[in-house]
């Protein structure tokens, strides 16, 4: 089995230089790096990962805490983080908390116990100060997608308010005046921001809020909320939802009630999950830049691990994807 010294000899370098290169502690000229890589390939060199981790004090793993890994948005974001991490030789340990604050706290303790080098934390619960206290004194943590007030940690979010505002404005421009809203749990930052965007667009148009329901970013909750809203008299002509999963639940109940989208009901989602464009009708929704989020999240955390200054707040733009689930209300002549 080839050793580090064999690689160094073949590349015409010292073992120290090769070791520092492999550990990311030195930047070498392109020609020198090429010699090292050629020697590694020719000798089929495999580094002793345990020895390297002992020497660097790193696990070469990061933790990713997500509320629900079975939710397509969170699954897609986790996949994007894994791709970015793999490009740098890092593994990702994923914890799905299922809305349990105790599981979130346990994941934070894994960082304290050095089971992982850093942590990306996506909370799905309203904040009462417990997580802020658990994070006290920690570095190498990135708050991703949802905020936790208090800790001085880097944050990476999307512009939730602008997204919901754009979705609501589109419905208003189509002629809707009775617009409802269904979203996740109150007290969660993205829920509050999307609700604010919905209200802002209505206020700009001089309209009052329609019926609103808050629960979870789940298809099942969309069904529960829609059963009540669509049975009301008058029922809303359009619904702005806080997630594509909720929107799909609304679609299900609308069909059960004999309603046709968008002729009888216009509907918008949020996330642009993989099959949002494939359902019937294709869903008008707010697209989050998931691949970019995953890459920037890992790059930010890696920079923090390397002792570099990182932005304290990054907000990525979103875009409204207009598809066939929205149209002017029935009977409106435009």
Longest Cα separation, the chain? 82
Structure token pair of residue 208: 């009052």
Helix (H) or strand (E) holding 264: none
Predicted confidence at residue 34, as pLDDT, reads 92
Q: Strand 212-214: give its sheet, edge to edge.
A: 212-214, 179-183, 238-241, 266-271, 284-287, 319-321
Nearest to 306 by CA among 57, 34, 46: 57
- Where are any strands of DSSP class E within 67-154? 91-96, 118-121, 141-144
CA distance 212 to 284: 19
Query: Residues near 186 by Cβ (< 8 Å), separated by ≥ 6?
Result: 126, 192, 214
174-205 tens-digit pLDDT: 999 999 999 999 999 999 999 999 999 999 99
User: Radius of gyration (Cα) for the chain, nearest Å?
Assistant: 24
Structure token pair of residue 162: 């602008």
List domains and CATH numbers for the chain.
4-55 (1.10.260), 59-158+289-318 (3.40.50.2300), 160-287 (3.40.50.2300)
Collect the ranges in the chain with pLDDT lower than 50: 50, 53-54
Predicted confidence at residue 334, as pLDDT, reads 54
CA distance 217 to 182: 9
**Phi/psi of residue 234, nearest 5 degrees:** -80, 150
CB atoms closer than 10 angstroms to residue 224: 16
Check: CB of residue 188 under 8 Å from CB of residue 124.
yes
Q: Which residues pair with 121 in a beta bridge?
A: 65, 143
**Phi/psi of residue 116, nearest 5 degrees:** -135, 160
- DSSP code of 329? P
**Phi/psi of residue 238, nearest 5 degrees:** -150, 150
Predicted confidence at residue 192, as pLDDT, reads 97
- DSSP code of 121? E
Predicted confidence at residue 120, as pLDDT, reads 95
**Phi/psi of residue 259, nearest 5 degrees:** -95, 145
Check: CB of residue 45 under 8 Å from CB of residue 36.
no
Query: Residues near 155 by Cβ (< 8 Å), separated by ≥ 6?
Result: 142, 143, 144, 147, 312, 313, 314
Q: Which residues pair with 181 in a beta bridge?
A: 212, 240
Check: CB of residue 49 under 8 Å from CB of residue 91.
no
The upper half-sphere exposure of residue 327, i.e. CA atoms within 13 Å in the direction of its Cβ, equals 14
233-253 tens-digit pLDDT: 999 999 999 999 999 999 999
CA distance 199 to 189: 15
């Amino acid at each position: 089995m080839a050793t580090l010294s064999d690689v160094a000899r073949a590349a015409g370098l010292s073992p120290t230089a090769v070791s520092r290169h492999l550990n990311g502690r030195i930047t070498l000229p392109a020609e020198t790096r090429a010699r090292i890589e050629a020697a590694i390939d020719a000798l089929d060199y495999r580094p002793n990962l345990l020895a390297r981790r002992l020497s660097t004090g790193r696990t070469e793993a990061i933790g990713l805490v997500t509320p629900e890994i079975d939710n397509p948005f969170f699954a897609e974001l986790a996949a994007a983080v894994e791709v970015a991490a793999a490009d740098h030789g890092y593994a990702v340990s994923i914890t799905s908390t299922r809305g349990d604050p105790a599981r979130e706290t346990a994941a934070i303790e894994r960082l304290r116990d050095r089971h992982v080098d850093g942590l990306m934390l996506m909370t799905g619960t309203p904040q009462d100060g417990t997580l802020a206290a658990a994070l006290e004194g920690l570095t190498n943590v990135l708050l991703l997608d949802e905020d936790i007030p208090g800790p001085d940690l880097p944050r990476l979010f999307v512009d939730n308010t602008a997204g919901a505002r754009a979705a609501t404005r589109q419905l208003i421009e189509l002629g809707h005046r009775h617009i409802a809203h269904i979203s996740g749990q109150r007290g969660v930052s993205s829920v509050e921001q999307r609700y604010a965007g919905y209200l802002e667009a209505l206020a700009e148009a001089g309209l009052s809020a329609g019926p609103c329901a808050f629960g979870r970013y789940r298809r099942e909750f969309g069904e529960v909320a829609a059963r009540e809203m669509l049975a009301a008299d008058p029922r809303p002509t359009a619904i702005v939802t806080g997630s594509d999963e909720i929107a799909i639940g609304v679609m299900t109940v609308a069909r059960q009630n004999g309603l046709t989208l968008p002729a009888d009901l216009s509907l918008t989602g949020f996330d642009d999950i993989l099959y949002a464009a494939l359902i019937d009708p294709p869903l008008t929704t707010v697209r989050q830049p998931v691949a970019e989020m995953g890459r920037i999240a890992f790059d930010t955390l890696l920079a923090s691990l390397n002792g570099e200054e990182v932005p304290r707040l990054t907000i990525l733009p979103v875009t409204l994807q207009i598809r066939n689930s929205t149209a002017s209300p029935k009977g409106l002549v435009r």
